[in-house]
Structure 1
Amino acid sequence: MQWRNYRFINGLLVLASIVGMSFALYLEHVKGLDPCPLCIFQRVGLMVMGIFALIAFLHNPVSNLMKRFYSLLATLGILWSVGVATRHVWLQTLPPDKVPSCGPGLNYLLDALPLKTVLNEVLSGSGECAAIDWTFLGFSLPVWSLAFFSVLLLICLWQLLRTYPTSRKAKK
């Protein structure tokens, strides 16, 4: 069964990361949608998952410990994206009078403030993160992102927690 193969699943995760990033870049560069800071942070988690899935795909470890290690790192990456996307969706559901005010852009924050302060500022969200610029079937981009990241998280968790067959070499 191909879907149970560790390497095959990591290949699918890499492909999903490439497709997700390609779509984000398409919306940014072709459709002209500028990403807010929360969107950028969601991309970071997707790329982290994709990088560790690629490493696992290329390495194709025999050891169950290494399989779980790569899966843990990929899971942490996409868990970050799920968390940030959840925050983003929550910001978009706030009434207009409860939305935080817009702050300076991410580039300015990175230049002017320490990283810990930047993370705190970005994750608290701003007015630009609450704006809904794009919808599909009545749902905003952060809602679709959250759904996509949640499916990837479930796959990563399955890779992390599943029982791997013992190798034939270990039986001999």
Structure 2
Amino acid sequence: MNFLANLGRQPVAWVLLFLSALTLEIAALYFQYVLELRPCIMCIYQRTAVFGILFSACLPLISNNILTRLLAYIGVGVSAVWGLVIALEHVEIQTAKSLFAICEIVPNFPTWAPLHEWMPSIFAATGDCGDINWSFVGMSMPQWMIVIFAIYTGVLALVLMSKMINKKAR
């Protein structure tokens, strides 16, 4: 348990987290601009959650102390859980046979951070949430994102639980 409890102090852990999120962002842009798969609003929200993980991982890379690790744990946790919820909703929209299972067209970003206006090439939604234009081993992209966000959430939970267990053992 000491390994997991001390993982946040290791720069390599934050580098791996950063690189995994960066790889997902590059893959998203590859799907969008090379394979010409148009992202829907739910895709954009999931992309934003991955950016949250990416930027959270940067904090301990800049300065690895208790405050930056705490902020990073919070940022990763919020982003991973939010991304998981959005991916679950996205799969529900794709699998629902209801005419009322639709998604928004314009992202609902805060008025103080209209990312879709600032960087439309990354955050503008142009696709339909109900479309399944890509799958791998029988799973659609949002189904894979459920797996990815669940892994992020699970690893974070293991690290935090091991930290609590380690503190109680002292």
TM-score of the superposed pair, with normalisation by structure 1:
0.73
Q: Contact 1:78 / 1:153 at 8 angstroms: preserved in 2?
A: yes
CA deviations 1:77-97 (Å, max 9, x no partner) are: 1211111001001111112x4
| Higher RCO (C-alpha under 8 Å, 6+ residues apart) | 2
Aligned to 2:71: 69
Task: Identify the match of residue 87 of structure 2 among 85, 88, 98.
Answer: 85
**Cα distance in structure 2, aligned partners of 1:133 and 1:36:** 11
**2:163 alignment partner, SS class:** coil
Percent identity over paired residues: 24
Of Structure 1 and Structure 2, the greater helix share is in 1
| Runs of 5+ consecutive residues of structure 1 not aligned to the other structure | 116-126, 167-172
1:1-172 matches, cutoff 5 A: 5-6=7-8, 7-61=11-65, 63=66, 66-95=68-97, 97-101=98-102, 105-106=105-106, 128-163=128-163
Residue 26 to residue 2, structure 1, CA distance change in 2 (3 Å): farther
Assess if the C-alpha contact under 8 Å between 2:59 and 2:69 holds in 1: no
Task: Give the AA of the match of 2:101.
Answer: P
Structure 2 length as normaliser, TM-score? Answer: 0.74
Measure how far apart 1:158 and its partner are.
Answer: 2.9
The change in CA–CA distance for 1:5 and 1:100 in structure 2 (over 3 A counts) is closer
Write out the 4+ residue segments of structure 1 that deviate beyond 6 Å after TM superposition: none
Give the Cα separation in 1 of the matches to 2:103 and 2:82.
Answer: 23
Q: Distance in 2 between matches of 1:55 and 1:66?
A: 6
Query: For the Cα contact (< 8 Å) 2:87–2:143, is it kept in 1?
Result: yes
Q: Which amino acid aligns with 1:100?
A: A
Aligned residues: 148
C-alpha RMSD of matched pairs (Å): 2.9
Which stretch shifts more, 146-155 or 82-91?
Answer: 146-155
Instruction: State the distance in 2 between where 1:159 and 1:49 align.
Output: 15
